[in-house]
Chain A
């Protein structure tokens, strides 16, 4: 399977209903079934980047970045993204610390100049799905440039 252990049946059934397609203004000539991913397209897709470090180095002087990881995901695991952020070599702004959602520890965060790395505790690959409350707090603070 393209996405092992991910159940997408409900979304596919919903989006393939004619009245939903009408509501979303999908033209009639799109007869192909909507699927969550397209493995055939993935098979002919050409990956050009093994690393995005040069791109981050171009962006970080002028733009803020947040890298966050649900810490229960192994596919794009937090250890790798944490190491990636360290390798960017941005000046460290403070010690790694716990962050909280309401009264509970919701993960750990480390801030660097222009980039923040944070984990979301016991969340998976799809953070806003598994831990929606902490995810909303996280993105709200990022948008508002708050710690």
Chain B
């Protein structure tokens, strides 16, 4: 183990760390250096498997994976810059490497400042970094090895895995969460998903079916309609990453998306119509603003549907 990389303490954590941790740099090709944060298993580091975790983007940092998903500590909210214990950390059952990749993401860098890259170069540099990891941690070389990640790691992982399979690494398998694994399929099902979860209405759905449904050859009108639907889904204030959760961050640079919702809604349910009928009514689609108790409203105005 590289003593110089050991994390002795973490600001915001009181007392000793839950298991040994290491942070430093792994070599990619040439002058590329990728930052890693390795957390040993809290149970049996000698025998538990090793997981390489990759977040997506492309260009998003795997430290998010550590600090708000599967790591042993989560950053607390409200800016107090402290950490709390994650009782369901994956480090309870595995040794986990969080790798910031490609260069230019997080603390990773390229000495020559060239950050142009692609899927294959990213996979190649991830492989080189992984091989460097096992040089630094030969004690982990015989452990079972898995790759896991989410989102655009749906590309990162299989492209890396086909390279890993040609090495001596004790590779066993891979897991992908909410993966970007096929652009066409995801794009098509996104509209279906939006319709079946009532994010778009009948009229727009019918327009979509008419415009995009019959021909296998994509038309300009279909592409435009898909763009509009996409804009509606991702910038309307509904959290596209968790439609039943809160919208915690910003969602749009302008009010345009909110306005476009009105265009997409069924005429009988449009805000303009409802407002005339029920003075004082404000759209529940006002992003992240909950200023109306819909249930109470429905009782007051039987038959009202948002």
Contacts and interface: CB of A to CB of B under 8 A. Distances in A.
B177 A74 contact: no
Interface string B110-140: 0000011111100000000000000000000
Interface string B17-32: 0000001100000000
Contact of A84 (B94, B109, B181): B181
Nearest to B288: A5
B178 A51 contact: no
B197 interface: yes
Interface in B167-203: 171-190, 192-194, 197, 199
Interface in B239-266: 239-253
Given A38-B104, A77-B190, A46 B172 contact: no
Chain A: interface size category: 35 or more
B69 A128 contact: yes
A44 B116 CA distance: 6
A7 B79 CA distance: 12
Interface string A114-147: 0000000011111111101101100110110000
Interface in A77-130: 77-81, 83-84, 87, 122-130
Interface of B: 4-5, 7-12, 23-24, 35, 37, 49, 51, 57-61, 63-65, 67-70, 75-79, 81, 83, 86-90, 92-94, 102, 104-107, 109, 115-120, 144, 146, 148, 150-151, 154-155, 158-159, 161-162, 165, 171-190, 192-194, 197, 199, 233-235, 237-253
